[in-house]
Amino acid sequence: MTTANTALRLAVVGHTNTGKTSLLRTLTHDAGFGQVSDAPGTTRHVEGARLLLNGAAAVELYDTPGLEDGIGLLDYLDQLQTQTGSRHDGPESIARFLDSPESKRRFEQEARVLKKLIACDAGLYVIDVRDPILAKHKDELAILARCGKPLVPVLNFINDAHARKQDWKETLARLGLHVVIEFDTVAPALDGEAQLYQKLALVLDTHAATLQALSEDVGVQRERRRNAAFALVADMLIDVAALRLSSQTDDDSVKSSTQLMQDKVRQREQAGIKALLTHYRFRPEDYPGQPLPLEGGRWNMDLFNPQALLDTGIHVGKGFAAGAMAGAAVDVFTAGLSLGTAALIGGVLGSVWQGTDKLGKRLYGRLQGFHEITVEDSILRLLAIRAHQLIRALELRGHADMAPVQISMQAAQEELKEQALPEQLQEARSHPEWSRLGDHFSSGSRRDVAVGQLGRTLASIGTQ
């Protein structure tokens, strides 16, 4: 009988190349654990990992070598029993085998597996359900049963088109193994980990409370991970929406500034992708990505949108009228004026209006014949959609998956395609200092609030 403070020890066992190491990678969210390969016998020794709950080890998982000669070992166990002329129960027969010379020669790998299973509280027998059911599998289960430890089959690769899931379930039931866990290590269900621990709790009653708590914690951590991921996306979108680059009006200057803007946005998206991959504990090479189709800048200054008016001290109630008047006045006054006169008007506006640092300098630049280039709304939508789909793909990806991450743009949420941009992005348009991509980045509480609100909005899309 184990105490409540003792971590549950689980030996992950099974035939070679069934996904034992893959299971540990996915449960530990560690793509670097062990070595995963299609070649049989990749794991040659026992490796371990711990799952923590409230900072303490709740479960210890041990990855063991694959069983390669179950048929030969079962025959050898029977021979040992015949030689002694006496019957031994399961654990005694395994102990006798481990003391025999063959445990260090022909069956050395199987001996490592059995030693670890005996030292653990239970075993997870990983099955590749694409494989046909053969005598070797039944012999392996018979050998493992002699260790006297609870054994829970884990059906791997259940999403494969060639899976024989039902055949395996029926065979296991005939062998007395009625509690079976379905867990695809490459593409686990969103709640797959939680279900795995709940199933284990049915078999391992002395650790049921810990397993139930671990199941609940998995859900909590998944939600926290998701919220933090969308906060990263929101931060990226705010950076891009707030970006403004000044340009003279000639074609060469506009092209140069537009190219600079494109480069900045592409680099920011790549940084955002890398941050998401790191956040979900994947590698940069897992997602080669696709180029962002930036095809031009947005020349609208957005000087007189309602938020810009609020920043200059004009109340919302008077915003539209005052904004129209100010815009019309500037347009009329600057038509055909000399640079010196326009500069004088810009100086007057800058000295009179509140918010000189934001709008006064921008008006002054426009009066001198400069445009401000920002990113089109369509590019912001595309960035949001790609990030949203990437998060979805990472949530459903096992850490043993070696294929590149694929995202489906067709599955993008309609809210991101058609509805108005979130108000936080519209607000960011009037705050160029909110963009890390600009030359005068200045964070603050209002930007932090906007990032938090936008992150929650993005996280809620598609969950209704």
Q: Domain containing 80 — which CATH number?
A: 3.40.50.300
Query: Domain for residue 417, yes or no?
Result: yes
Claim to verify: residue 234 and residue 149 sit in the same structural domain: no
Query: Domain for residue 217, yes or no?
Result: no
- For residue 364, pLDDT over 90 is answered with no
User: Whats the size of the chain, residue-wise?
Assistant: 464
Claim to verify: residue 176 and residue 289 sit in the same structural domain: no
Phi, psi angles (nearest 5°) of residue 367: -65, -25
Claim to verify: residue 259 and residue 351 sit in the same structural domain: yes
Q: For Cα atoms 363, 368, 374, give the angle at the middle one, nearest 5 degrees.
A: 55
User: What secondary structure letter does DSSP report for 181?
Assistant: E
Helix (H) or strand (E) holding 306: helix 306-311
The order of strands in the sheet holding 8-13 is 47-53, 56-63, 8-13, 122-128, 151-156, 181-182
Claim to verify: residue 137 and residue 236 sit in the same structural domain: no
Claim to verify: residue 424 and residue 308 sit in the same structural domain: yes
Beta bridge partners of 182: 155
Q: 327-331, 335-339, 436-440: which has the highest mean pLDDT?
A: 436-440
The domain of 180 spans 8-186
Quote the CA–CA distance of 15 and 401 in Å, as a whole number: 20
Query: Domain for residue 214, yes or no?
Result: no
Claim to verify: residue 267 and residue 122 sit in the same structural domain: no
CB atoms under 10 Å from CB of 463, counted, come to 7
Angle separating helix axes 108-119 and 135-145, nearest 10 degrees = 40
How much is the average pLDDT of 249-263? Answer: 82
- For residue 316, pLDDT over 60 is answered with no
Query: Domain for residue 221, yes or no?
Result: no
Quote the CA–CA distance of 11 and 294 in Å, as a whole number: 51
How much is the average pLDDT of 216-232? Answer: 95
- For residue 153, pLDDT over 60 is answered with yes
Residue at a domain's end among 127, 158, 186: 186
Quote the CA–CA distance of 394 and 286 in Å, as a whole number: 10
pLDDT score recorded for residue 358: 54
Query: Domain for residue 89, yes or no?
Result: yes
pLDDT score recorded for residue 258: 82
Residue at a domain's end among 166, 186, 206: 186
Claim to verify: residue 134 and residue 77 sit in the same structural domain: yes
**Stronger pLDDT, 386 or 275, i.e. the higher one:** 275
Residue at a domain's end among 165, 186, 207: 186
Claim to verify: residue 47 and residue 171 sit in the same structural domain: yes
Phi, psi angles (nearest 5°) of residue 32: -95, 0
Contacts of 149 (CB under 8 A, 6+ apart): 11, 117, 118, 120, 121, 122, 123
| Structural domain total, the chain | 2
Query: Domain for residue 423, yes or no?
Result: yes
pLDDT score recorded for residue 134: 94
Instruction: Give the three-class secondary structure for 34.
Output: coil
Beta bridge partners of 9: 60
Its pTM stands at 0.76
Contact 457, 237 (CB under 8 A): no
Query: Domain for residue 204, yes or no?
Result: no
Take residue 260 and report the two structure tokens written for it.
Answer: 């600079």
Claim to verify: residue 98 and residue 231 sit in the same structural domain: no
Claim to verify: residue 40 and residue 94 sit in the same structural domain: yes
Query: Domain for residue 261, yes or no?
Result: yes
Place of tokens 């009179």: 352
Claim to verify: residue 37 and residue 158 sit in the same structural domain: yes
Claim to verify: residue 111 and residue 162 sit in the same structural domain: yes
Quote the CA–CA distance of 310 and 324 in Å, as a whole number: 14
